[in-house]
Amino acid sequence: MEGNYGAFKSLLQANGVIDAQMKWQYGDNHIVLVGDMVDRGDELLQVLWLIYKLEQEVKEAGGRVHFIIGYHE
């Protein structure tokens, strides 16, 4: 994603992970984010805040967000 908030949000919505209000809707499933999320780009803070927000929501649903630091982070 490299700090591309629009692409990240679109990917999550297209795959049923979040709804139009950006709320977790993936039940007790897990998502794995594998590096190159925030090493560059103009929207890296938005990407990070969305990840942190989802980490809280997913706990309530019984799933998990796995955020693996990549070679750029």
* Separation between Cα atoms, residue 71 and residue 32, nearest integer Å: 15
- pLDDT for 41: 78
Residue with tokens 């942190």: 52
The amino acid present at 50, given as its one-letter code, is L
Q: What is the pLDDT of residue 9?
A: 96
The pLDDT tens digits along the chain (73 residues) read 788 899 999 999 999 999 999 999 999 999 998 877 777 778 989 999 999 999 999 999 999 999 887 665 5
Helix ranges, 4-64 (H):
5-14, 44-61
CA distance 60 to 73: 28
Give residue 31's region: left, alpha or beta (phi > 0; psi -120 to 50).
Answer: beta
